[in-house]
Amino acid sequence: MHTATYQARPDVNAIIHLHPQLTVLLDALGERIRLVTTDHAFYVRRIATTPFHPPGSSALAAVAAAAVVDGTNCVILAHHGCSVLGETLEMAHRRAVNLEEAALLTYRALLLTGGLAGREIPECPTDFVDTGTV
Ligand SMILES: [Zn+2]
């Protein structure tokens, strides 16, 4: 996945892949992460999402790379995590921190406004749960 992303984005020198829980949860719920603060807007700017593909698969590598070819630096991988890109490792880290902070504020805002009432909790696709294979 990292190799495919570097090939898609020659301007990028750092990719951080991580599993931020609120970011993944909101994506699973179909909720768009809102960029509430100026830091969120400055560092994150746009968020791409991909459908579920097993971790380590070539399909996941392909959709993750395709999601950032337009200059997007934050891509959420359904039921898995995210990849955050930067010209430097420091910038990729700042983007990763701000992505999860934006998810936290979005989550709190949805709780405060009742935006999650009545929702079912989405789970990892059953084929992957049953086999655990990639
Ligand atoms: Zn992962």
Does some domain include residue 121?
no
Give the pairing of strands 14-18 and 47-50. Answer: unpaired
Do 96 and 16 meet the contact criterion of CB atoms below 8 Å apart? yes
Q: Based on the structure, what is the number of domains in the chain?
A: 1
**Cβ-Cβ contacts under 8 Å for 13 (sequence gap 6 or more):** 86, 87, 88, 89
| Helix 89-113 and helix 21-28, axial crossing angle in degrees, nearest 10 | 50
> How close is the Cα of 114 to the center of ligand 1, in Å?
31
pTM: 0.92
> How close is the Cα of 19 to the center of ligand 1, in Å?
6
Distances (CA, A) of 80 to 19, 26, 76: 6, 12, 8
> How close is the Cα of 30 to the center of ligand 1, in Å?
20
Does some domain include residue 127?
no
Does some domain include residue 103?
yes
For residue 119 the two structure tokens come to 């929702």
pLDDT tens for residues 30-62? 999 999 999 999 999 999 999 999 999 999 999
CATH value at residue 82: 3.40.225.10
Does some domain include residue 125?
no
Does some domain include residue 82?
yes
Mean pLDDT value across the chain: 95
Does some domain include residue 132?
no
